[in-house]
């Protein structure tokens, strides 16, 4: 027995409330307020885990987020949780990591005996032959930390909270609380965060008075006053990252089973009162269980009433360990203080034996430390060794915000250098301490295994090896040895490691430099970053106003370009349903929900001039009440979108762009408007979501529409193909456009989205008499492909220009400027071997050509692509496969045969005009 719970004391625990938890299957008795670590220490559990690589026994080092060793998997909470920050809860089940069956009896402990054969980066040099992948699975199984429970699922989505305040104070120790108090007095809104479960920082375990009050009491009252005034104080909350323009991210841990909360805070001012972290001291076997940070031992004593040993050796190079030594002696331990400094020293505390000017060269023990040897050869027995190698200021957030740390020789630490806008550092984070320090760094000549990074299993010899192999830059050192790459991110190890490298290479510490600080400061669960962004909310779809009506009719929905649309209405046998819909659409009349079609209104005195510039086709000659099909080009001359432009009157147009391109077309219209035409010359309004568009298409479309008894004359002289009329449906305005994407006579009816359902119901009712069929998008794709109507981005690619699609007129004739014009006259645009739109026919008995297969030719003994199939369907009306493609010189090769190659097989097809059905276009007016 060495570590034990004292009969009294411990400000954090409530001795009237016992808590029982399990660690590695062993029952652990604790009190409410304990952390898992303090509970383990109280029960004298020395070995709490195994090291990452060598499976060496490891014990608790610290009392906070810097803990490198005491990681545990907690059932229902997650893997690799720090035992030092997780509260002991009744029934909690914790397991040590990297150990099987448990930390005390790890079957892979033998690996440590082979340590000399597996130094840093051994895996870069071995397992190369015959193939790394042969070894990888087994090595991966041996490495790694905690185990992820694949069955685990977060009880609910993690909360993400955005917050604004005047001042964010990170760290609720003496400096942070004093800063918060001052800022509050100045009338600022304040948020204070602290990673400990209780605010107060070192006030909670160090002696001291503020304003005549004991530290803990002052902290408690200051926090209470802040809260009373409406300020926010969050504990168990770590500020883990600072991002552009001082956005600070917080990880808030809850102790009631809720997943961690992610806070995104936008303060005007950030005050970093993040304190400092105690460093280890270098000596052989300095990783043995029972070797701990001196400051943490004081935390365990005063906060949890746990004395970490009975016979304690404390090694220090600074003043801060004196208070620890005195307190432990007073608590009944036999304390020897190994003081590394000579010369004028503070008085040794009462009851403490001091050996000045000495240092530890090695520790002894197998599963826990049982003694140390000093540099003068004296051996001291000990059941616990506390070390204080000096304080490393926690300047991570300052450095993440592109602050440049500057080396301070007197403090043996990197301190904040030039100020960063909006960030102030106070207290120990500024190096503001009074502990005189004798800098102590690892030395390559030290005997034995001197551990630098406990969690990554990096020794002084590994750093020396990296230096020998010329990985002397700190960034190379880090990646070659994995120094500082573990989950603790080298909070205790980075500085000793780079100081050692400095010593080996004969450079100073600042010359050697430090690695880049990156978020997160502490691990953050992915559930926090994900928040609600999962499942349907990962990428929310846009929904049709008539979705419910379609679902009632058995529609099968798919996502098309962000919209959830009916693919077909046929249940399980999709292919059959789609064919049937397309076949019936040609025979009678089809009803189709085309609400996603773009409806962008362009108005204003220069609207006509504007659309002329935007479109490849001349649009200003369009008469009011008429529609015209046209292309929009990118400035590169490539076809960007196609669609119908409707002219309602002299100064008002509707750009009916394709569903997929509404946002991008809208943005480009706005850009040309604001940049070239002027904000008062043209106005643009995207009415796409406001209006539903229902399409009636097919030979029976006119009688069906007539049956609706609208006021509008459907006579083809009044409403010819490519004309638009206004009408009313009930009290709502109805726009009727005779445009067609099927090749059959069609009417597009546009109405307020929220009033679309009665119109849809009416169409369906009236449609019964005409054998009307409701079709989904898949059937429409067949109908348009039969006609050779293209879909931009499917039947075109990033090189397709309008003359490749058979629309060469404007290129030859237009005199005025338009978007993309100059690009249509470059050398490339004028080449005669461009890919051009064609149809591709195969024999009736054959299956359709696979879309994406290539047209090929033999050229100088090599097979060469001549283009590819872009759309391919079985046509139920033609009763044969149809296809569209982009084929080299295709427009001049109609009737020619071409080899189509797909996954090694070659088929023959005949190049045809794109339109396979009703080439004369008679059905548009049938």
Partner 1 sequence: MQIFNCPFCGPRAESEFHYGGEAGNLRPDGADVPAEDWANYLYMRANPKGATREVWLHVTCGEFFVMERDSVSHKVHSATAIADTSEAK
Of positions 300, 677, 729, 760, contacts partner 1 by CB under 8 A: 677
In the complex with partner 1, the residue whose CB is nearer, 670 or 757, is: 670
In the complex with partner 1, the residue whose CB is nearer, 27 or 827, is: 827
In the complex with partner 1, the residue whose CB is nearer, 310 or 542, is: 542
Q: What is d(CA 112, CA 115) in angstroms, rounded to the nearest whole number?
A: 5
Q: Can residue 690 be called a binding residue for partner 1 (CB under 8 A)? A: no
In the complex with partner 1, the residue whose CB is nearer, 108 or 676, is: 676
Question: CA quadruple 289, 293, 294, 295: dihedral positive or negative?
Answer: negative
Q: Can residue 825 be called a binding residue for partner 1 (CB under 8 A)? A: yes
In the complex with partner 1, the residue whose CB is nearer, 124 or 825, is: 825
- Give Dmax over CA atoms of the chain in angstroms: 114
Binding to partner 1 in span 765-824, by CB under 8 A: 817, 821-823
Closest contact distance (angstroms) between CB of 316 and partner 1 is 42
Closest contact distance (angstroms) between CB of 171 and partner 1 is 23
Closest contact distance (angstroms) between CB of 825 and partner 1 is 6
| 309: helix, strand or coil | coil
| 692: helix, strand or coil | strand
* Residue closest to 695 by CA, chosen among 731, 747, 739, 742: 747
Q: Can residue 635 be called a binding residue for partner 1 (CB under 8 A)? A: yes
Of positions 138, 147, 268, 679, contacts partner 1 by CB under 8 A: 679
Q: Alpha helix (H) ranges present in 673-826?
A: 701-707, 756-767, 777-786, 809-813
Q: Is 730 exposed, middle or buried (0-12, 13-18, 19+ CB in 10 A)?
A: exposed
Closest contact distance (angstroms) between CB of 633 and partner 1 is 12
Q: What is d(CA 367, CA 383) in angstroms, rounded to the nearest whole number?
A: 11
Closest contact distance (angstroms) between CB of 675 and partner 1 is 5
Structure tokens of 11? 């400000």
Closest contact distance (angstroms) between CB of 822 and partner 1 is 5
In the complex with partner 1, the residue whose CB is nearer, 574 or 634, is: 634
In the complex with partner 1, the residue whose CB is nearer, 356 or 828, is: 828
Of positions 209, 671, 716, 718, contacts partner 1 by CB under 8 A: 671
**Cβ contact 849:901 at 8 Å:** no
**Cβ contact 442:56 at 8 Å:** no
Cβ contacts of 415 within 8 Å, gap of 6 or more: 393, 395, 405, 406, 407, 408, 430, 431
Q: Can residue 207 be called a binding residue for partner 1 (CB under 8 A)? A: no
In the complex with partner 1, the residue whose CB is nearer, 198 or 261, is: 261
Closest contact distance (angstroms) between CB of 814 and partner 1 is 9
Of positions 826, 830, 863, 925, contacts partner 1 by CB under 8 A: 826
The shares of helix, strand and coil residues in the chain, as percent rounded to the nearest 5, are 25, 30, 45
| β-pairing verdict for 311-316 and 334-339 | parallel
In the complex with partner 1, the residue whose CB is nearer, 222 or 617, is: 617
Neighbours of 261 (CB within 10 A): 18
Structure tokens of 339? 């003081």
In the complex with partner 1, the residue whose CB is nearer, 244 or 844, is: 244
- Per-residue contact track with partner 1, 224 to 263, x per CB under 8 A? -------------------xxx-x----------------
Structure tokens of 573? 């046998």
In the complex with partner 1, the residue whose CB is nearer, 244 or 920, is: 244
Q: What is d(CA 178, CA 184) in angstroms, rounded to the nearest whole number?
A: 10
- Per-residue contact track with partner 1, 564 to 603, x per CB under 8 A? ----------------------------------------
Closest contact distance (angstroms) between CB of 818 and partner 1 is 10
* Residue closest to 800 by CA, chosen among 776, 774, 829, 826: 829
Binding to partner 1 in span 384-403, by CB under 8 A: 402
In the complex with partner 1, the residue whose CB is nearer, 407 or 683, is: 683
Residue 197: DSSP 8-state: S
In the complex with partner 1, the residue whose CB is nearer, 403 or 788, is: 403
Q: What is d(CA 386, CA 59) in angstroms, rounded to the nearest whole number?
A: 12
**Cβ contact 751:762 at 8 Å:** no
Closest contact distance (angstroms) between CB of 609 and partner 1 is 12
Of positions 107, 548, 674, 830, contacts partner 1 by CB under 8 A: 674
Residue 297: DSSP 8-state: H
Structure tokens of 579? 């064919």
Q: What is d(CA 286, CA 361) in angstroms, rounded to the nearest whole number?
A: 9
Q: Can residue 636 be called a binding residue for partner 1 (CB under 8 A)? A: yes
| 184: helix, strand or coil | helix
For 161, how many CA atoms within 13 A lie in the half-sphere containing its CB?
Answer: 10
- Per-residue contact track with partner 1, 316 to 355, x per CB under 8 A? ----------------------------------------
Spatial strand order in the sheet of 600-603: 626-633, 639-649, 652-657, 600-603, 683-686
Q: What is d(CA 272, CA 239) in angstroms, rounded to the nearest whole number?
A: 10
Supply the Cα-derived Rg of the chain in whole angstroms. Answer: 38
Binding-residue total with partner 1 (CB under 8 A): 27
Closest contact distance (angstroms) between CB of 619 and partner 1 is 18
Q: What is d(CA 605, CA 682) in angstroms, rounded to the nearest whole number?
A: 7
In the complex with partner 1, the residue whose CB is nearer, 354 or 666, is: 666
DSSP 93-118: EEEESS-SS-STT-TTGGGGGGGGGS
In the complex with partner 1, the residue whose CB is nearer, 170 or 638, is: 638
Binding to partner 1 in span 50-79, by CB under 8 A: none
Q: Can residue 434 be called a binding residue for partner 1 (CB under 8 A)? A: no
Closest contact distance (angstroms) between CB of 817 and partner 1 is 5
Q: Can residue 857 be called a binding residue for partner 1 (CB under 8 A)? A: no
In the complex with partner 1, the residue whose CB is nearer, 302 or 666, is: 666
Q: Can residue 676 be called a binding residue for partner 1 (CB under 8 A)? A: yes
DSSP 377-404: S-EEE-SEEEEE--EEE--HHHHHTT--
Q: Can residue 213 be called a binding residue for partner 1 (CB under 8 A)? A: no
Closest contact distance (angstroms) between CB of 679 and partner 1 is 5
In the complex with partner 1, the residue whose CB is nearer, 826 or 892, is: 826
Of positions 443, 670, 727, 757, contacts partner 1 by CB under 8 A: 670
Of positions 258, 264, 364, 902, contacts partner 1 by CB under 8 A: 264
Closest contact distance (angstroms) between CB of 674 and partner 1 is 5
| φ and ψ of 301, to 5 deg | -65, -50
Q: What is d(CA 407, CA 414) in angstroms, rounded to the nearest whole number?
A: 4
Of positions 27, 211, 536, 675, contacts partner 1 by CB under 8 A: 675
Closest contact distance (angstroms) between CB of 273 and partner 1 is 24
Among the candidate windows 153-161, 435-443, 663-671, 724-732, which touches partner 1 by CB under 8 A? 663-671
**Cβ contact 789:805 at 8 Å:** no
Residue 203: DSSP 8-state: G
In the complex with partner 1, the residue whose CB is nearer, 788 or 802, is: 802
Closest contact distance (angstroms) between CB of 163 and partner 1 is 13
Cβ contacts of 256 within 8 Å, gap of 6 or more: none
Q: For binding to partner 1 (CB under 8 A), which residues are involved?
A: 243-245, 247, 264, 266, 402, 635-636, 666-667, 670-671, 674-679, 684, 817, 821-823, 825-827
């Amino acid at each position: 027995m060495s570590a034990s719970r004292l009969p009294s004391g411990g400000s954090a625990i409530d001795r009237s409330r016992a808590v029982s938890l399990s660690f590695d299957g062993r029952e652990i008795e604790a009190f409410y307020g304990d952390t898992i670590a303090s509970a383990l220490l109280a029960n004298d559990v020395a070995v709490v885990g195994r090291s990452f690589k060598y499976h060496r026994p490891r014990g608790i080092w610290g009392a906070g987020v810097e803990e490198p060793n005491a990681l545990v998997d907690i059932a229902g909470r997650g893997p690799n949780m720090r035992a030092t920050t997780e509260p002991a809860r009744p029934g909690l089940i914790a397991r040590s990591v990297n150990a099987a069956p448990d930390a005390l009896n790890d079957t892979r402990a033998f690996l440590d005996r082979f340590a000399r054969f597996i130094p840093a980066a051994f895996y870069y040099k071995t397992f190369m032959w015959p193939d790394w992948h042969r070894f990888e699975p087994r090595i991966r199984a041996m490495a790694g930390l905690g185990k992820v429970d694949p069955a685990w699922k977060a009880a609910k989505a993690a909360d993400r909270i955005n917050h604004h305040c005047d001042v964010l104070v990170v760290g609720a120790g003496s400096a942070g609380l004093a800063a918060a108090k001052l800022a509050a007095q100045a009338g600022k809104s304040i948020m204070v965060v602290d990673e400990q479960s209780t605010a107060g920082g070192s006030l909670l375990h160090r002696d001291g008075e503020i304003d005549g009050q004991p530290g803990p009491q002052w902290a408690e009252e200051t926090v209470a006053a802040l809260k009373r005034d409406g300020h926010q104080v969050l504990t168990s909350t770590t500020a883990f990252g600072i991002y552009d323009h001082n956005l600070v991210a917080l990880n808030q841990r809850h102790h009631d089973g809720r997943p961690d909360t992610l806070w995104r805070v936008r303060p005007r001012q950030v005050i970093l009162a993040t304190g400092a972290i105690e460093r280890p001291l270098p000596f052989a076997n300095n990783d043995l269980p029972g070797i701990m940070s001196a400051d943490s031992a004081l935390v365990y004593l005063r906060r949890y009433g746990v004395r970490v040993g009975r016979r304690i050796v404390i090694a220090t190079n600074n003043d801060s360990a004196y208070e620890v030594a005195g307190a432990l002696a007073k608590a009944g331990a036999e304390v020897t203080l190994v003081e590394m400094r000579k010369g004028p020293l503070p008085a040794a505390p009462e009851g403490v034996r001091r050996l000045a000017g000495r240092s530890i060269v090695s520790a002894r023990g197998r599963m826990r430390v049982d003694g140390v040897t000093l540099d003068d050869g004296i051996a001291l027995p000990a059941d616990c060794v506390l070390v204080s190698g000096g304080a490393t200021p926690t300047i991570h957030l300052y450095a993440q915000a592109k602050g440049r740390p500057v080396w301070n020789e007197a403090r043996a630490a990197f301190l904040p250098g030039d100020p960063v806008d909006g960030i102030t550092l106070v207290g120990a984070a500024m190096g503001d301490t009074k502990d005189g320090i004798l800098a102590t760094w690892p030395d390559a000549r030290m005997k034995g295994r001197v551990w630098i990074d406990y969690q990554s299993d990096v020794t002084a010899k590994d750093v020396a090896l990296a230096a020998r192999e010329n990985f002397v830059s700190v960034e190379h050192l880090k990646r070659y040895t994995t120094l500082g790459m573990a989950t603790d991110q080298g909070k205790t190890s980075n500085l000793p490691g780079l100081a050692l490298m400095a010593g080996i290479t004969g450079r100073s510490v600042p010359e050697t430099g430090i690695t880049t600080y990156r978020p997160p400061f502490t691990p953050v669960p992915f559930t926090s970053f994900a928040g609600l962004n999962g499942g349907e909310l990962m990428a929310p779809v846009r929904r049709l106003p008539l979705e419910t009506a379609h679902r009632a009719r058995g529609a099968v929905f798919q996502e098309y370009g962000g919209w959830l649309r009916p693919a077909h209405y046929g249940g399980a046998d999709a292919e059959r349903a789609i064919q049937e819909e397309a076949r019936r659409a040609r025979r009678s009349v089809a009803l189709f929900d085309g609400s996603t079609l773009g409806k962008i209104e362009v108005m204003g005195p220069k609207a006509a001039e504007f659309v002329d510039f935007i479109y490849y086709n001349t649009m200003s000659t369009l008469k009011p009440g008429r529609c015209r099909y046209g292309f929009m080009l990118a400035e590169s001359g490539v076809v960007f979108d196609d669609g119908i432009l409707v002219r309602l009157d002299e100064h008002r147009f509707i750009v009916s762009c394709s569903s997929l391109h509404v946002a991008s077309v809208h943005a480009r219209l706005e850009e040309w408007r604001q940049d070239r035409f002027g904000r008062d010359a043209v106005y643009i309004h995207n009415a796409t979501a406001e209006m539903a568009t229902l399409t009636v298409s097919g030979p029976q479309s006119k009688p069906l529409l007539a049956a609706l008894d609208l006021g509008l004359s459907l006579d083809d002289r009044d409403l010819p193909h490519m004309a638009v009329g206004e009408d009313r449906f009930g009290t709502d305005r109805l726009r009727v456009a005779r445009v067609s994407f099927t090749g059959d006579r069609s009417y597009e009816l546009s109405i307020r989205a929220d009033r679309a359902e009665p119109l849809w119901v009416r169409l369906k009712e009236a449609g019964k008499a005409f054998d009307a069929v409701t079709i989904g998008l898949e059937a429409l794709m067949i109908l348009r492909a039969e006609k050779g109507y293209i879909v931009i981005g499917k039947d075109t690619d990033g090189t397709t220009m309008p003359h490749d699609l058979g629309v060469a007129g404007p290129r030859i004739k237009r005199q005025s400027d338009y978007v993309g014009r100059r690009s249509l006259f470059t050398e490339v645009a004028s080449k005669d071997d461009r890919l051009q739109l064609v149809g591709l026919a195969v024999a009736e008995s054959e299956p359709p050509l696979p879309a994406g297969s290539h047209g090929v030719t033999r050229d100088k003994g090599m097979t060469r692509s001549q283009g590819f199939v872009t759309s391919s369907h079985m046509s139920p009306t033609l009763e044969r496969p149809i296809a569209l493609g982009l084929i080299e010189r295709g427009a001049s090769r109609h009737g020619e045969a071409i080899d189509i190659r797909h996954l090694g097989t070659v088929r023959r097809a005949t190049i045809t005009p794109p339109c396979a059905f009703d080439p004369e276009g008679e059905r548009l007016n049938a």
